[in-house]
Amino acid sequence: MPTLIASLVAERVGGRIVGDSSLELTGFAPADGAKPGDLTFAENEAYFLRADQSAASAILVAGDFRSSTGKTIVQVENARVAFAQVLPLFFPEPVLPAGIHASAVVAASAQVDPSAHVGPQCVIGERVRIGAEAVLIGRNFISDDCVVGDGCRLYPNVTLYPRSALGRRVRIHAGSVIGSDGFGYVFDKGEHRKVPQVGQVIIHDDVEIGANVTIDRAALGATVIGRGTKIDNLVQIAHNVTIGEHCILVAQVGIAGSTKIGNYVTIAGQVGVAGHLRIADKVTIAAQSGVMHHIPEGQKWLGSPAGPDRVMKRQYLAMERLPELLRRVQELERRLGDEASSSA
């Protein structure tokens, strides 16, 4: 792990030093695991008090805090953003050597930039283009006519079906499959007849895709993932789906075919979205929701079937009252029955 000067760390995160700007920092760790020489971080006052009592030598913190134990403080505007900026300084990603491993199989018509790294047992198909400083870790299968843009990083066992296109700096984690057949069938004479899926998948710049994600190619046209979108592990995206820019899709989300999702949409874990829907910009969908209708811009939805959060919360509150309401109805029925018996 590299040794960094506190003033350099502050410069990288746009922060301000309170204390020893020449302090040497040898690591980055949470407060309960920090040791002398480490930088730790705190998001608020409670965490700062804990960090100030730790063995760390410096604290990254949002706000005008002062150490009571003589620690150096790196003051920043947003501790979480600064945390993401500092981590690569202490834990730089390994730089793999340019070149093609001897065990890789590369078609004669493929174009591999000299600065790219093609790891062991990769297969590169006909007319594939691999961009500058792209990294294929190993055992990647890149089918015919695919494009892997500059600075992409593909972890082991990532598969790209024919004509899949990745923009720049796309990261795809192990086991993901891009461009597999969409789930398209028509019922004909007592059997399900396959509809050929002849489209492609287009993934724009700065997208990150987790492990074991499947993104199906379009029947015609393209399945599209917009710039800056982040997709968690175990997500299924069906054929002809379009996802906008800077969206977040959390684990086990499933999106059915031809649905259009806007920009800055957040879809929490295990959400199911039906096909041919329109989810507008800046929508948030809570975990385990089942979406069966279009959602207007900026709304928060939850539940299964999903609805606007204020409506669904009222329904949940009403459901909590049902046992008491049922008891009261039964009591009223008993009283009415007793009155009817006595009057008879």
Q: Which residues are catalytic?
A: 239
Q: How far apart are CA 260 and CA 267, in angstroms?
A: 13
3-state secondary structure of 105: strand
Determine the length of the chain. Answer: 344
Q: What is the DSSP string of 257-298?
A: TT-EE-SS-EE-TT-EE-TT-EE-TT-EE-TT-EE-S-B-TT
Phi, psi of 154 (to 5 degrees): -110, 120
Chain Cα centroid distance, residue 205: 14
Query: Measured between alpha carbons, how far is 244 from 110 in angstroms, rounded to an integer?
Result: 30
Contacts of 305 (CB under 8 A, 6+ apart): 290, 291, 292, 293
SS3 of residue 152 by DSSP: coil
Query: Cα separations (Å) of 292 from 166, 271, 279, 304, 335?
Result: 30, 11, 11, 9, 44
